[in-house]
Structure 1
Amino acid sequence: MKKTYLFFATGLFISISFLAQTKLLTIQDAVLKGRSSLAPKRIQTLFVPETDWAAYIDNNALKSVQQSSGNAKDIITLSELNKNLKAASQDTLSYLNGISFKTADEIYITNKKGDWIYSLSKKTLAPSDIKKVDNTIDDLDEFKKGETYAYVAANNLFVVKNGKTEQVSKDGSYNLVYGKSVHRDEFGISKGTFWSPKGNLLAFYRMDQSDVTDYPIIDWSTYPAKNTNIKYPMAGNNSHYVTVGIYNVEKKSTVYLRTEGPKDQYLTNIAWSPDEKNIYVVVLNREQNHFKVNEYDAATGNFTRMLFEERDEKYAEPLHAMLFVKNNATQFIWQSRRDGFNHLYLYNIKGEMMKQLTKGNWEVKDVAGFDNKGENFFFHANEQSPVNQDFYSVNLKSGKMTRITSDNGFHVATLS
């Protein structure tokens, strides 16, 4: 069984010197030495799979510390690694960077000749098993690294599985765009494709911007300078029209969600049910004061039901998709500012609110996920002070909230 481990670090760095005790910090020191003698020491942190150890690189040495005990140990230094690389007739490394763990005993490294797996115990080298994708591809969205992924080319959407490429759309153009972010990246939108939990289906945006006026951009990088038009919906003018498609990877077929309402409404916060049978979309009106959380059948695209809706006389801003509770497909976490602050709410799949998990004059800043049993939910918040950030857990059954980090500072934690 996969276990969840917690690692955190404080963002409060302190640089101490003898001079700091006898001399005030000047503006010149703060500006000119901020990245040298007064710079905080930053350490790259790595996770060691299936253990409660966290690894880090310090002074060209790979080290680790145990979360439960605080015990630290050295794993390997750059000189030791290079010695073994030379013995294997391989190029050496200049720095210990770009390293990640495959297992507790194996790390991925890259030299001039390629990517490798290095065994820490056996001191042996083997070709990497990671399949890489061309990183120049636009809007790359990988479900399984190097094997199953989607990308956009010439405003058309493509899906690759096991080396075979399928073109999902064929009419992409300057006016018709597939698989890209829409609605000017508002309302939590940052991409245009959304893999289902098992990778069998891919939801994607289709954006028709034929009614949007062109906006001229001058390209000064060429001589003479030239004009390049982009589509930009100016205030009061027509906007683009968005629909959501679902591509079945096995059947190589596409259906579109039958969303009702004005064609210039906002479609955002896309989420999948754990069994891939349903897809959830937030439909926000153009006035941005009323939205509905709708469920659609992923096989047909038909509207199934509205789970719930939110209204605000001034502004409604849905930013986060629903997050299903681990090991419980009948409940999900919803984030909302309905009481003036961003807080967590527990809903059932019928759209009934079971309880408000967090409340107060403070904000939930980010979410981290669930524990192994799905009983506790972890998140970052500024409950203590607007300039602080701490890590918390909340029990879904009792609603008890626990502050995990302590002391002032900006704390960041990750579940592994």
Structure 2
Amino acid sequence: MVKRIKIYALTALLICMYVDTFAQEKKVSLEAIFKENVFSQKSVHGINWMKDGKYYSSLVRDNGKAQVVKMNVATGEQEAVLIDGNKLGIDFSSYSFNADESKALIATEVESIYRRSSKGIFYVVDMSSGVSQELMDGKKISYATLSPDNTRVAFVMDNDLYYITLDDNEVHQITKDGEWNHIINGAADWVYEEEFSMAQAFSWSPDGSKIAFIRFDESQVPEYNMQLWGPLYPQDYKFKYPKAGEKNAEVSIHIHDINANESRLVDAGAEQDIYLPRMYWAGSSNTLAFIRLNRLQNQLDLLYANAATGKSKVILTEKADTYVDLNYNDNLLFLEEGKGFLRTSEQDGYKHIYHHDQDGKLINQVTSGDWEVTEVIGVDQKAKKIYYVSTEQSELNRNLYAVKFNGKGKTLLTPAEGNHGINMSPDHQYFVDYYSTANAPLTVSLKEAKGDLIKVLEDNALLNKKLKGYALSKKEFFDFETVDGTRLNGYMIKPADFDEGKEYPVLMYVYGGPGSENVKNSWGGMRDFWHHHLASEGYIVVCVDNRGTGGRGRDFKHVTYGQLGNLETQDQIAGANYLAALPYIDGSRIGIWGWSYGGYMSSLSLMLGADVFKTAIAVAPVTTWRYYDTIYTERYLQTPQLNASGYDDNSPLSHVDKLEGNFLLIHGTGDDNVHFQNSVALVDALIAADKQFETFYYPNRNHGIYGGNTTWHLYNMMTDFIKRKL
């Protein structure tokens, strides 16, 4: 009897110890993610390398005001305060130095316009005296840029290009025809900004004697009318947005000669329906290089223009049966002393580095293999060495390498598996490594060029300590083959108390757009922790990168050309079927959600995969590519006039009759990117098909759907829907 009591007591003690241990690990709550910001990671921002390579500057805050501090690379210690917002009485948010670091530009009261565009109040700071000079009497301007000779600042205001001479503060207006929704000088229009990742559209020549700029004539581009709700009478916000197949802005390149006070047109060819998305001074102030793309983006030309006459000639041409992706050809660097240029291209099937002479003739392909160069970090012209990040270790990872111009002597500099974001010094002696994995937050380290550690600048020790107090399972990577033998990558987040003997519902997360990647060995953000919250509530969260996504070569990415949504949806359905066959998955409870392209995908997956998907959430989805912009859509589908079936066959609007499961549709009415019109059209089609669904709109919110209490409200609502419907 005594022995039995002891056994019961021991068993009870062990149970209490287990319960107590598990109780110490808290569940990931919505409040912790969205209200208390528990899981935000720290980083090191505003690092700019200084000219001698022995120091870098960084933006910090002291007593609420910004400071630019000077950091010693060798010691990692702060040596001086270069710009003090407290002394200037200016709470600036960004800064930049000129080449000799004698002057700096700082900006305050910066307000965003669209994704990359902004305007603010700018000051020039004399670094020797510490005196600041306010530009344009405090009027808000865009893209203020010091001339290389330190005598002028160019900027855009009210769609016109200007410069100020600093010695007398005199304002010089280069263009005078700028007008809202008609003419833009020196700044990108909406679609260039969104799809070619550019906002500033002017550039000083190396000697500061000329400014090259792009002019956008968007007079004939159709307007989109976006109503802004709030006042007694809603306001109309009309802006130029070229939808697929519609008229684009007519673009032209001009070169303004400061001394002659005259501008000349650059010859970009006879065809007007083109794109001119990039300009570069080709090693001197006499030659301007620029890229020209045809409307269908299947031919890219590199041209040289004589800066004195505007006459141009084609130096290099690249063609494709599908499209030439500018993002994969956006690493053009001209070498000193006319020794040619380096560029990237996926012309051999994978994105690699190529070395050309000054006339465009290929000298050699620098890198090669069944992997991709994702970014060129720096070029040491004296040592003839290129530093780049690639997927050579795995498409899930990003690692830094160095290689000679001739392709020899390749060295791996960051061997640790994961994702390495690199900021390298101009003299290529040091770099800052922003490193994370799927299960370890950011570590920011200062390293020598060979990869040796100098100092850890941020280790997120506090976040790591917090994470130990939560019941978190690791993100697990897996792959599987579809019926046609295609290998797809995925990751899975299981409940922390996962039991193989149980069956769990699954929520799949999808984006899936061309060149994107969600399945990577890098630390996630707020959305990942929402997935961890769902895991704590008994769901398994899964993400699968379908065909068309990036990191795996041209063929894998371009296979969706002409039929967006078709193969991608097949792959998400294949992923759901693969999961349903696993013993611990409840195949009758598989859901899917996504945002933007992902909302397009989740909508299609629920409609076309009614036998495998029970529930879907679509946030800010494209519902027909006829409503989306020219540059993005036509790159992958051609125009609606040339490929009507490519636009309609895989539109959710064409498949509303197949909807069987639970559907939640969410959109912001102030979305300038994927217009609210997309969801209005889908709602109308679902009503006509007599389909029941749930929908929610966020007044005046843009594509990101945020601001104030919005994010908390959104994820709380989606969580409730998943619990009710999955």
TM-score bin, normalised by smaller chain: 0.7 to 0.9
Q: Is 2:32 the counterpart of 1:32?
A: yes
Q: Is the 1:289–1:311 contact (alpha carbons within 8 Å) kept by the matching residues of 2?
A: yes
The amino acid across from 1:159 in the alignment is: Y
1:348 aligns with 2:348: no
Match of 2:184 in 1: 177
SS of match in other structure, 2:368: coil
Assess if the C-alpha contact under 8 Å between 1:271 and 1:321 holds in 2. no
Indicate whether 1:324 and 2:334 are aligned: yes
> What does 1:293-308 correspond to in 2, within 5 Å?
293-303=302-312, 305-308=313-316
More helix by share: 2
Contact 1:270 1:321 in 2 (8 A): no
Match in the other structure for 1:155: 159
Task: Give the whole-Å Cα distance in 1 for the aligned partners of 2:380 and 2:305.
Answer: 29
> Which residue in the other structure is 1:313 paired with?
321
Instruction: Measure how far apart 1:43 and its partner are.
Output: 4.3
Instruction: Name which one, 1 or 2, has greater alpha-carbon Rg.
Output: 2
Question: How many pairs align?
Answer: 353
C-alpha deviation, 1:386, in angstroms: 2.4
Query: Is 1:168 matched up with 2:174?
Result: yes
Give the structure-2-normalised TM-score: 0.44
More strand by share: 1
> Helix, strand or coil: the match of 1:32?
helix
CA offset at residue 39 of structure 1? 5.1
Question: What displacement does 1:382 show?
Answer: 2.6
Displacement of 1:221 in angstroms is: 4.5
- Of the structure 1 ranges 96-105 and 309-318, higher mean CA displacement relative to structure 2 is found in 96-105
Offset at 1:286? 1.0
8 Å CA contact 2:345, 2:352 repeated in 1 = yes
In 2, the alpha carbon distance for the partners of 1:29 and 1:164 equals 57
Identity in percent: 23
Out of 373, 379, 402, which is 1:370 matched to? 379
Q: SS state of the match for residue 309, structure 2?
A: coil
1: CA distance between counterparts of 2:44 and 2:146? 28
Q: Report the secondary structure of 2:422's partner residue.
A: strand
| One-letter amino acid matched to 1:324 | F
CA gap of 1:39–1:302, structure 2 versus 1, over 3 A, is closer
Q: C-alpha displacement at 1:97, in angstroms?
A: 5.0
1:142 maps to which residue? 146
Q: How far apart in 1 are the matches of 2:278 and 2:48?
A: 30
Partner SS, residue 98 of structure 1: strand
Structure 1 pair 46/196, CA: closer, same or farther in 2 (3 Å)? closer
Aligned to 2:88: 114
Q: Who is 1:101 aligned against? A: 70
Deviations 1:18-61 (A, max 9, x none): x9xx6596651697269766654544567566354668899x9x
Query: CA distance change for structure 1 residues 314 and 48 in 2, over 3 Å: closer, same or farther?
Result: closer
Displacement of 1:94 = 2.0
**What is aligned with 2:402?**
393
Query: Do the aligned partners of 2:291 and 2:303 also contact (CA within 8 Å) in 1?
Result: yes
Matched-pair contact (CA < 8 Å) for 2:367–2:407: no
Q: Find the residue that maps to 1:191 and give its secondary structure.
A: coil
Q: Which amino acid aligns with 1:108?
A: L
Displacement of 1:198: 2.4
Q: TM-score, normalised by structure 1?
A: 0.74
Give 1:296 shift. Answer: 1.0
Q: Partner letter of residue 312 of structure 1?
A: A
- 2:52 alignment partner in structure 1: 50
Q: C-alpha offsets along residues 71-117 of structure 1, whole Å, 9 cap, x if unaligned?
A: xxxxxxxxxxxxxxxxxxxxxx526852222999542242444179x
The residue type equivalent to 2:160 in the other structure is N
Matches within 5 A, 1:257-268: 257-268=266-277
1:278 counterpart residue number:
287
Which shifted more, 107-116 or 400-409?
107-116
From 262, 279, 286, the counterpart of 1:253: 262
Q: Aligned equivalents of 1:25 and 1:189: distance in 2?
A: 45
Q: Distance in 2 between matches of 1:272 and 1:46?
A: 23
| Unmatched segments (≥5 aa) in structure 2 | 1-17, 73-77, 91-126, 426-726
* Separation of aligned partners in 2, 1:96 and 1:112: 6
Amino acid in the other structure paired with 1:94: N
Name the SS for the 1:412 alignment partner.
strand
- Counterparts of 2:58 and 2:223, CA distance in 1: 49
- CA shift in 2, pair 1:57/1:184, >3 Å: closer
* Residue number in structure 1 paired with 2:239: 230
